[in-house]
Amino acid sequence: MVPATQIAAANASSPGGEERRRLYRRILFAEQFRYALLVAPLILYLLVFYIYPVASMLVQSVISNGGFTFEYFGRLFESPIYWRVFLNTVWLALGTTLICLVLAYPLAYAMSRASPTRAAVMFALVLLPFWTSILVRSYAWMVLLGRNGIFNDWLSRAGLISEPLNLLYTPFAVYIAMVYVLLPFMILPLYSVLRSIDPSLLRAAEGLGASTRQIFFSVVAPLSKPGVAAGCLVVFILALGFYITPALMGGQRDVTLAMLVAQQLDMYEWNFAAVLASLLLFFSLVVFLVFDKMIGIERMFSR
């Protein structure tokens, strides 16, 4: 079907088409107005719930007593504790991302090669944790990893330990819980990309005498790079801002930047809390731009 704008444009170009040109302009305006009405709710939502809060946070970080100042940014360099917390946050996010990638890739590959019924069951199991809040899942891990929890009970029954291990309030507990929460965000983009790989490419490589290992590293791995990059980007940025799980299950050495922001808010240090949140935002933008430069955001999310 030919769009109305093309028909009107063709009529407007015909001889004596002044009236038709006016009709074309009215049709074009009507379509643009209709498009604007469709997009307006989304734009309004972004303005109210994203752009305005972020802009307010950035303004709060450089405003004090009605004047412009970088005083609160200067506080970042007064003590090394803030940069230690920042580095700890980055390392925690990086470690969580790598563990998620190692665990998610084989699972996503198995899902992509499974029958439709089996893949649907596996997909449902991956999405099942989303039905429960992060707080509840974190508390569940606290029960499992406690001194009287299942893990210590199993180890004790197996005769591997004589007294309960202190698994809670350690980096180990934080990594386990964060990987559990963020693993689906790695599986989903990997599964999408692996599922879209043309099976004829694998058969062609097999027909040329390539081994299973050669097929994986020569065909599957290169074609799955966009999914790997997309999953790593999403998990890493989400892990940077994680608060509930490290706060509940981490120790004194597992403080993250998000926890520091919450601490400053509890002390009514609004300006410095905005500075710390801005630091997290700027670093996330840098990571996003690096991924875009190296791989390309359009390529990562094109499938």
Domain boundary residue, one of 68, 93, 120: 68
pLDDT one-digit tens code per residue, 254-263 = 889 999 999 9
Model pLDDT, residue 3: 52
What value does the mean pLDDT of the chain take? Answer: 84
Give yes or no: residues 176 and 198 share one domain.
yes
Q: Is residue 103 part of a domain?
A: yes
Q: Is residue 74 part of a domain?
A: no
pLDDT one-digit tens code per residue, 63-118 = 877 778 888 888 888 888 999 999 999 999 999 999 999 999 999 999 988 888 89
- Tell me the chain's radius of gyration from C-alpha atoms: 27
Buried b (16+ CB within 10 A) or exposed e, 158-197: eeeeeeebebbbbbebbbbbbbbbbbbbbbbbbbbbbeeb
Give yes or no: residues 89 and 54 share one domain.
no
Q: Is residue 94 part of a domain?
A: yes
Give yes or no: residues 20 and 88 share one domain.
no
Give yes or no: residues 275 and 128 share one domain.
yes
pLDDT one-digit tens code per residue, 11-38 = 445 555 566 666 666 666 666 667 776 7
Give yes or no: residues 25 and 142 share one domain.
no
Please give the residue range of the domain that contains residue 30: 4-68
Cβ neighbours of 275 (radius 10 Å): 26
pTM equals 0.82
Give yes or no: residues 20 and 151 share one domain.
no
Mention every residue, 6+ apart, whose C-beta is less than 8 A from residue 234: 185, 186, 189
Give yes or no: residues 199 and 239 share one domain.
yes
Give yes or no: residues 274 and 136 share one domain.
yes
Residue 235 burial by CB count (10 A; 0-12/13-18/19+): exposed, middle or buried?
buried
